[in-house]
């Protein structure tokens, strides 16, 4: 348990950051799920549109520190490849 005032403040800040980051992660996952759903449905136009909407959200997660840069790049690369190969 935090004892010093500094560590108590740090604990409060960590709780707030956790909630904000959790919301950001959830938002990004929603966008990625929309792409996945369009891919499984086989709708190339919807998948491309969902991918275009998901890309800035994913990159915003990188700038906010939710995701690592390479993780986001890998996810985007794999999704883009799947959308392109959709018949």
pLDDT attached to residue 19: 97
* Superfamily (CATH) of domain 5-85: Ribosomal protein S20 (1.20.58.110)
pLDDT attached to residue 2: 77
pLDDT lower than 50: segments of the chain: none
pLDDT attached to residue 41: 94
* pLDDT tens digits, one per residue of 7-28: 999 999 999 999 999 999 999 9
In 3-state terms, what secondary structure has residue 68? coil
pLDDT attached to residue 58: 96
pLDDT attached to residue 20: 96
Residue boundaries of the structural domains of the chain: 5-85
Task: Return d(Cα 3, Cα 70) in angstroms, integer.
Answer: 37
Longest pairwise C-alpha distance within the chain: 61
Task: Return d(Cα 29, Cα 61) in angstroms, integer.
Answer: 11
pLDDT attached to residue 16: 97
pLDDT attached to residue 57: 96
Residue 6 token pair: 């500094």
Selection from 62, 42, 70 nearest residue 78 by Cα: 70
């Amino acid at each position: 348990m935090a004892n010093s005032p500094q560590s108590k403040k740090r604990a409060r800040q960590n709780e707030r950051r956790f909630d904000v980051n959790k919301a950001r992660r959830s938002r990004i996952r929603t966008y990625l799920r929309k792409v996945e759903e369009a891919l499984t449905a086989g709708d190339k136009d919807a998948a491309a549109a969902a991918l275009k909407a998901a890309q800035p959200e994913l990159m915003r997660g990188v700038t906010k520190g939710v995701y690592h840069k390479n993780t986001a790049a890998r996810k985007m690369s794999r999704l883009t490849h799947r959308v392109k190969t959709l018949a």
